[in-house]
Amino acid sequence: MSEQGGPLGSNSAADLSKPDLHPSPETLWQFMEGGLAASEMRLVLRHLLRGCRSCQERARGVWNITLPALAAAAAAKVADVSVVSVVSVVSDTAKVADASEMPAAPCATCSIDGPTALALLPALLPAQPAAAALPAPTLHAAHGSCVRPALAPHLEVREAATATEIAETSSDAAYETVLDRVFSRINVEEAAVEAARQRAGGLFDELTQHPAARQQLLVQNSVRFCDRMLCERLLAASHDEGFRAPARSLELARVAVAVAERLVDSPPLRVPGSPPPATGELLAGLRARAWAQLGNALRIGSDHEAAAQAFHAVDALLVANPRLGLIDKARVFDLKASFCKDRRQFADAAQLLDRVITIYRRLGQSDLLGRALTQKATVLFDAGDVKASLVLLRDALELIDPHEDPRWFLIVRHNLIAALVEDGQPREAFALLFHTRPLYLKMGDRRNLLRMRWLEGQVAQGLQRLEQAEAAFREVSDAFVELGIEYDAALVSLDLAAVFAQQGRTSEMRRLAQEMVLFFESRQLHHEAMAAYLVFCTAAQIDQAGLGLVQEIAAFLKQARHTPDLRFVPPAPFADRR
Amino acid sequence: MSAHDTSEAEDSLELFLQSVRPRMKALFAHYRVPPQDTEDILQQALLALVYQRQVIRDPEAWLFGTLRNKCLLYWRERRRKLYDAVDAAVLEVMAGPMAPEQEDADLRRDLATAIERLPERCRTLLSLRYSQGYEPPELAKRLGYSPTSISKTTNRCLAALTHELTAGLGRKKTP
């Protein structure tokens, strides 16, 4: 076999083992793709180990296959022996007027006579996309090294086409065939998926009218509920309930996990016209999302231990299925990041969100990217890096379309104003709040309006307009008490206490502490938060609640909001008053 | 959703697929994924799109991002096969003389030279693997890697060795 040898199939392994022979370009290509049999791999390896420069050069070209421009050039180089010759002959053949002009004598190299070669060559015209797939003898017949000399006297040699162009033409046609096939399948399946989605709506309504235990039973025992689209519907519903109805969200997530696991254990019922059952990575993605949603619902319910177990199941699925869909991965990482944030594992949360950001950037989903940046900004804010948080929030604002996604746009603006206040930029916060007010009003939701008012109080406090701040905090505090939103009521009351502390109004602070503690004692403020609040009350009773202490307790309450096991360590004078 | 909506959605998918067709073809050609392997990649991506269409705001960007990722994964998978094949071939070469004595000795020397040019941790790892036949769990224990990270590290070292085989003398790459 020569350095320009034919495909491996035409050579024996023994030939390759001879030191003066080189693997053919095709063999080398197959080697670099790991596509050779073990014994052939060994022979090529030996050859490369001997340090053959020309083969190393060729193999190196194939190596950087993930850089497409380089790879294309490399492939053209590898292919140039067989394809260039074919191109020349093909383009030349078009000019052959008469078979009688072909030499009748067989070619000295391939033993094919002129008329036979001419009969074979039309199959290699660019219009025939299967040229590359022709059997070796045909290619050999078309190979310039043997047929061309025979044809040369009769032909006007033309070097119009390049190897790359021809390779592209043939693969172009092959791609067209594949696209046709897949597109027609997908068009049929899309209708089936839509029908399945409609059916899942009915199943969801039917299932959720039962108590939770019965729902689980139905999923376990009735194959009708073993439905992928039902699982998707349950996940969406669980996510929507989120903070609004945590118990309901948890219930739905549990059922979604049961359905997802059931899909693995037993094949779903095939309804005529239904889409093909989810397999492999699609199913693994669904399972991972179901477990992650369960973890998220448990996190919101402050059951961190159970949430950790759910996320452990997610991790196991990710390890077992490294080729999970990108969007599934992003959603799972996003939810896990929230869990890490609540656990105050800020570095882990930020790392996960970086992956989410990379994925959304790669998928070109600017709205989701904006949301992920906002999430990361929250993590950084909680970790105390307010400056970095501001940068991300400004980036996020550029990505979220206020008309398409007004709710998220408002969230980002709100967080940005809060971060500006925290960063000691109340004037900028004031200006932004002024421009954001119409958005709050447009959303119309009472809670949003209260949050706007709360923010107004904080901005006013930052601007040292303490009377305005007091009015805003009182208004919001009363509303939160009325609505029974105890945790936020506690936080606002501390903001109000800070205003009193700034003004030295100790008696009013004492009164505020007495009123609030009565309210919290009848509510479910978690243990550590209550302990911290009691320290504030005690300090207020003895006129020792300075601005520093109030701010310290407020900071703790913010940190402990979703982390009830975070322990409050009172400052030294109050260490024994927990 | 009304019947009219469904029909519109179907139409729009068909139109969407036709509009992205040229770009899609160019992408596969760009990544040089053989047509026969394109089918799986494309079908998986489009199925995922159909299932998740409700949450995807920019389907074109999503589809091409997904396809690019799948093409890269495709080649990563192929490269992994290459590393495995190189590993098996080296192990076989080292297992026993299959060639005349002098040639065998030359091969061992050439392999040792290639390994010598790799970064320190790969030298240690591959020497233990090829000269003393250590399996990945034993390598993990001996070199202090976690059982989960040893296969990744071994792969990186095999990638470096394969690169060395093709890069020839004087080129180093940190895995």
3-state secondary structure of A107: coil
> How far is the C-alpha of A297 from the C-alpha of A314, rounded, in Å?
14
Does B100 share its domain with B162?
yes
Asked whether the beta carbons of A29 and A78 are under 8 A apart, the reply is yes
CA A284, distance to chain mean position in Å, is 14
Q: Which of A46, A75, A193 sits opposite B51 (nearest CB)?
A: A193
Kindly tell me the sign of the dihedral angle through the C-alpha atoms of A86, A92, A95, A96.
negative
Does residue B30 fall inside a structural domain? Answer: yes
Asked if A81 contacts A161 with a C-beta cutoff of 8 angstroms, the reply is no
Residue B90 maps to a domain: no
Nearest to A365 among B28, B62, B75 (CB): B62
The verdict on residue B89 lying in a domain is no
Choose between B78 and A279: higher pLDDT.
B78
Interface test with A, best of B1, B14, B32 (most A CBs within 10 A): B32
Q: What's the gap between Cα A509 and its chain centre? A: 49
pLDDT of B106 > 80? The answer is no
CA A68 to chain centre: 24
Instruction: Note the Cα B96 to chain centre separation in Å.
Output: 29
Residues from chain B that touch A49, judged by Cβ atoms under 8 A, are 107, 110-111, 114, 165
Is residue B101 included in any domain, yes or no?
yes
Domain membership flag for residue B175: no
ipTM exceeds 0.90: no
Within this chain, do residues B121 and B65 fall inside the same structural domain, yes or no? no
Structure tokens that stand for A115 in this block: 């008329």
Number of domains chain B is built from: 2
Q: How many residues does chain A have?
A: 578
Give the closest of B31, B62, B162 to A364, CB-based.
Answer: B62
B22/B63 same-domain check: yes
User: What is the CATH number for B151?
Assistant: 1.10.10.10
B159: closest CA among B94, B90, B91, B82?
B82
Q: What are the DSSP calls for A13-38, one per residue?
A: HHHHTSTT----HHHHHHHHTT-S-H
Q: Are residues A175 and B35, on separate chains, in Cβ contact within 8 Å?
A: yes
Pick B167's closest partner by Cβ from A60, A172, A174.
A60
Sequence-ordered list of residues with C-beta below 8 angstroms from that of A7, at least 6 positions apart, any chain? A24, A26, A27, A136
Helix (H), strand (E), coil (C) string for B18-45: HHHHHHHHHHHHHHCCCHHHHHHHHHHH
How high is the mean pLDDT of chain A?
76
Strand spans (E) along A287-388: none
Are B69 and B102 in a shared domain? no
| Residue B132 distance to chain A (closest CA, Å) | 19
Contact B13 A49 (CB under 8 A): no
Contact A48 B166 (CB under 8 A): yes
Q: How confident is the model at residue A105 (pLDDT cuts 50, 70, 90)?
A: low
Q: Lowest-confidence range among A93-107, A207-221, B144-158?
A: A93-107
Is residue B46 included in any domain, yes or no?
yes
Evaluate whether residue B102 is within a structural domain.
yes
Which residues of chain B make contact with A50, given a CB cutoff of 8 A?
106-107, 110
Tell me how far apart the terminal alpha carbons of chain A are, to the nearest angstrom: 88
* Domain-embedded: residue B84: no
Tell me, yes or no, whether B124 and B160 share the same domain: yes
Residue B169: predicted pLDDT: 42
Amino acid at A69: A
Residues in chain B: 175
Same domain for B71 and B11: yes
Are residues A559 and A528 in contact, defined by beta-carbon separation less than 8 angstroms?
Answer: no
Of the listed ranges A81-90, A468-477, A522-531, B147-156, the one predicted with least confidence = A81-90
Distance CA A300, CA B28 (A): 44
Which tokens hold the place of A508? 């009013």
Q: Which of A43-57, A515-529, A557-571, B153-167 ranks highest by mean pLDDT?
A: B153-167
| Residues from chain A contacting residue B55 (CB–CB below 8 Å) | 327
Q: Tens of pLDDT along B5-62? A: 444 444 588 899 999 999 999 898 888 888 888 999 999 899 889 888 878 888 999 9
Given a cut of 70, is residue A175 above it in pLDDT? Answer: yes
How far A558 CA sits from the closest chain B CA (Å)? 32
Q: State how far residue B144 is from chain A, nearest Cα, in angstroms.
A: 21
Contact A47, B86 (CB under 8 A): no
User: Closest Cα of chain A to B66: distance in Å?
Assistant: 6
What single DSSP character describes residue A424?
T
- Same domain assignment for residues B101 and B66: no
Task: Mark whether B15 and B66 lie in a shared domain.
Answer: yes
Do B100 and B71 lie in one domain? The reply is no
- Provide the domain limits for residue B152: 96-167
Are B54 and B13 found together in one domain? yes
Classify residue A196 by its DSSP letter: H
Query: Same domain for B106 and B66?
Result: no
Rg (CA), chain B: 24
Regarding whether B61 and B7 lie in a shared domain, the answer is: yes
Output the domain CATH number for residue B35: 1.10.1740
**DSSP 3-state of A271:** coil
Q: Given this model, what pLDDT does residue B88 score?
A: 81
Instruction: Find the Cα–Cα–Cα–Cα dihedral A560, A565, A566, A569, rounded to 10°.
Output: 120
Can you read off the two tokens belonging to residue B86? 């190189």
